[in-house]
Amino acid sequence: MPVRSVPLLTALTALILATLPVLSASAGDPAPETPPPLGYRLASADVQVPFNHVDAHVNVSATVNGKGPFRFHVDTYNSFPASIDDDLARELGLEPVAKVPNSDGTEIKMRDVVRLDEVSIGGVTFTNVMALVGDYDYVPTPDGGSLQGLIGFTSLKQLLVTFDYPASVLRFREGKLPADASHTAPFKLWTGSPDLMIELGGKEIPIGIDTGSGAAWLLDHSQAERLAIEDTLETVGEVRTVHGSQPLLRGALPHPLSLADHEIHPAVGHFMKLGMPRGLVGYGVLRSFAVTFDGKRRVVRFEREPEPEAVTLSPEELEDWVGSFHHDDRTFVLRLEGKELMFHEAGLPGQRAIPLSADELKLRGSPTRIRRRLGPGGEPVLEIRLHPGRPPLVAPRSS
């Protein structure tokens, strides 16, 4: 779910819990016609659609009713079959066929619904698609434009869909996950979007799998109160949702979280008011995985490459990494814990580093890579690559 966020968190998105369409008809009006059912067509048995996720969203090119291409996101926590920008709806001459109550986690408003004959991305076409109409001009896209629509989970759940973040590819096919597939977990569709049950602080809470959220873990503010970490949170910006905006806070969680038997490091949460005691897992975690949704069986699988073998470094080589490094207003720290390097941002939990060479590290369970270089003046600097499509952060040593 798209938001416009502050520079410190450039791609965080907010919760949209869309209810099913409820036609608004006055007493005595004839009953509306039942629309044809949602469907799909695949150009081949295994359709692969490249996507751009440099801004933490799943960006694709889509055609609507044979026209386009238009800038779309594929968003698992938009529970409607699709959403469309109001300007594009007018451009395509789409008339409302219904109104529905819709919440962004802060308030509920009535929104128009239109019917799209077809929405296509690559070799997959969704047919007879009901779409919410909204204003998405505030959501930027990597090409410098603004968002024109979203494909939601109600469309996706008809197929076996894989979000392969490391390969930057969406895969669509018919079928189901094998019953004995590893690293799987059941999900619920309480709101029409996929929710897992995750243990947090000795209590299970629902966590939505949100390909439209840029945070690793986005939690309702009540969870910070329950975990007694509210006083440790720092405000890192403001989140704009579909209907408004609110502060965004960040803090360390008491322990790592588990996702389908994968332990996730570091345990850092972002907090805002989501309207209920729950949370979302988003891009900060998902980017390490190929995530496959089996919507018919309501099972999701999280796969990632095995960790590489670590190179053994001498005590002197290990010591060469140790220190504090600054990038703008952020401080990154490398310290020794026994014979292992730990990397963390100041005030947040540490993450074990896997040495790939004397001058390159990889963080455990993360695509983040760190190279050690000499700066223009011969001073030690770290190049911290958080995303393959973005330039690395360059952080000079400060101690």
In the chain, domain spans = 17-24+36-173, 184-303, 315-396
DSSP single-letter state for residue 79: -
On whether the CB atoms of residues 3 and 78 are closer than 8 A, the answer is no
Please state, in angstroms and rounded to a whole number, the distance separating the CA atoms of residues 259 and 267: 12
Q: Fold match between 17-24+36-173 and 184-303? A: yes
Q: What is the pLDDT along the chain (399 residues), one digit of tens a residue?
A: 433 232 222 223 333 333 333 333 444 555 556 778 999 999 999 999 999 999 999 999 999 999 999 999 999 999 999 999 999 999 999 999 999 887 665 667 889 999 999 999 999 999 999 999 999 998 999 999 999 999 999 999 999 999 999 999 999 999 999 988 999 999 999 989 999 999 998 899 999 999 999 999 999 999 999 999 999 999 988 887 666 788 999 999 988 899 999 988 888 999 998 878 899 999 999 999 999 999 999 999 999 999 999 999 999 999 999 999 999 989 999 999 999 999 999 888 889 999 999 999 999 989 999 999 988 888 889 999 988 888 999 999 986
Look at the pTM and tell me if it is higher than 0.85: yes
Rg (CA), the chain: 22
**Superfamily per CATH, domain 17-24+36-173:** Acid Proteases (2.40.70.10)
Q: Does domain 315-396 sit in CATH 3.40.50.10470?
A: no
- What tens digit of pLDDT does each residue of 312-371 get? 999 999 999 999 999 998 999 999 999 999 999 988 888 999 999 999 999 998 999 999
218 closest CA partner among 195, 190, 250, 194: 250
d(CA 48, CA 150): 18
Terminal-to-terminal C-alpha distance of the chain:
41
pLDDT value for 198 = 93
Q: Given this model, what pLDDT does residue 126 score?
A: 98
Q: Can you say whether the dihedral through the CA atoms of 19, 270, 354, 255 is positive or negative? A: negative
CA distances from 91 to 63, 67, 148 (A): 13, 11, 11
Buried b vs exposed e over 242-277: b needs ≥16 C-beta within 10 Å? Answer: bbeebebbbbbbeeebebbebebbbbbbbbbebeee
CATH superfamily entry for domain 184-303: Acid Proteases (2.40.70.10)
